[in-house]
Amino acid sequence: MKAMMNLLTQRSPRPVTIAIMDGVGCREDKLGNAVAAAFTPNLDWLLENCPHRLLRAHGTAVGLPSDHDMGNSEVGHNALGAGRLYPQGARLVNEAVQSGAIFEGHAWQSLVKYCFEKNGTMHFIGLLSDGDVHSHIKHLEAMLNRLAFQDKLPRARIHILLDGRDVGETSALEYVGRLEKLLQSLRDQAGVDYRIASGGGRMKITMDRYEANWAMVELGWKTHVAAEARKFPCAEAAVTTCRQEEPGIIDQDLPPFVIADEAGTPLGPIRDGDSVVYFNFRGDRAIEISRAFEEENFSPFLRAPHPEVLYAGMMEYDTEAHIPGRFLVDPPHIEHTLGEYLCARNLRQMAISETQKYGHVTYFWNGNRSGKLDEKLEDYIEVPSDLTPFEQRPWMKAAEITDRTVEAILSKDYDMIRLNYPNGDMVGHTGSFQATRIAVETVDLCLGRLIGATRKAGGILLVTADHGNAEEMFEIDSKTHTPKLYPDGKIRAKTAHTLNPVWFIVYDPTGEDCVVFDPDLREPGLTNVAPTLMQLLGVKAPEIYDPPLLLFKSE
């Protein structure tokens, strides 16, 4: 190690470009592995010719409760931009529920009090699963138990968003059954009237992000608030009927439904005097519905009806815009991000992706803050996403992202460029192996163009990911090591993220710095990336950051 010098004595190449292959993890097993199945000559060349190592991108390495928790894009980009570990939403909510702090807070007390004063109903809207990416069913269960036994509120309604993305693609009835069992128990033991009121797939209603498709949120409003959707006697009947009518449909795409009594009267529209809790803790798919409930001068769609309610989110989803105004658990307070340090050093930055991941390279990268840190030093570019289902157009907007990035690299106007290719993640979530393989091949084609531009400009290209997905597309039987099958013989697709590591590759076309990885770093993760970027830019990383990944051999 004594033969190594700090990069600060070396050149500082420009630009340093970091390409995030969203949802592209590393897994040796080729079964169900769309990354291994894809034709990826550029990624293969990088791995054969450039320094690289694996980074942890899940569990405690990104601030989640345990190493059984898969990574996700929110915590991944938080970690990439923050340079050190922060406890994330799932862990913070777990701790608040376990300690009881969530129920002692002003927000919860206000919601309950409002219902009693107005003779109103408490409504819960959120993703019904134990995926622990956007929500966890145990948090909902804890709130319902508290509301029934301690607060003794007589009436509550639950509006369920069905997952099939962070959990099994057709697992909805497992969670519906679990919730119905609890609700029946609460009705029997506490004498309360708690029922499921409405629902639908997470990619059909309510959970849009980055204003990509406000029609989803409007449809959610009509479902949860106005109770305008197809009516069923129970949630199980809704899911079963939709599956029978459209064979092969997965949970995230189920159409909206409303639960009604025998006379056809909806059980739980949201009305004046009610309280509403949006129990997702992750921010990106929570901001728009929060705005719809809280914003006075709201224009994306007509809110009809527009009841007067008291609204709260599980967390503050946007800490700069303070959305929502009322929340149950304090979010991670992320300070001193990489972007802040680079702006302080007068270094120019560009961030680019298409709509689906634009907020990840801006909002999440900057520590859950919207807007630029410095208008003069930063350019943020959003390429509008298509509304076409991702499996039907797996190339998405990768070419357009690459066009703008290549132009930026060759211009030498920037010190650092960060970009996100959403393909591996967004297409991977559809469960289509063929489409996901094409998505990975699309990203690989784009990497080839970035390599060429970096070589011409004399910069450095870093290639990594925020979590895995595309490399594990089948549900695998642990005993037989074969894909799990549906009764009709179809392979059970895995649509969730994974526990696999991700690559971190350094392409330096000049070879001047003789890059090597620090062998003393054990099990590095995404938090080590920010200090490494600072290394490459010739900027000393702050002491609060995790160690950088690289060493530079003296000549």
Per-residue tokens: 548: 């950088």
Other CB atoms within 10 A of residue 113 CB: 13
Per-residue tokens: 405: 């990035």
Strands 275-278 vs 310-315: parallel, antiparallel or unpaired? parallel
Q: How big is the chain, counted in residues?
A: 555
Backbone angles phi, psi at 339, to 5 degrees: -60, -40
| Annotation says 73 is catalytic | yes
CA distances from 324 to 328, 355, 455, 552 (A): 10, 22, 46, 46
Q: What angle do CA 369, 371, 374 make, to 5 degrees?
A: 105
The strand pairing partners of 419, in sequence order, are 19, 352
Query: Would the CA dihedral through 25, 26, 28, 34 be positive or negative?
Result: positive
452: Cβ–Cβ under 8 A, 6 or more apart, which residues?
Answer: 406
H/E element holding 420? strand 416-421
The strand pairing partners of 311, in sequence order, are 276
Q: Which of 73, 198, 275, 290 is catalytic?
A: 73
Strands 16-21 vs 416-421: parallel, antiparallel or unpaired? parallel
Query: Is 449 within 8 Å of 49 (Cβ atoms)?
Result: no
In the chain, how long is the greatest CA-to-CA distance? 83
Q: Determine the Cα–Cα distance for residues 139 and 131; give it in Å rounded to an integer.
A: 12
Q: Determine the Cα–Cα distance for residues 107 and 320; give it in Å rounded to an integer.
A: 19
- Residues designated catalytic: 73
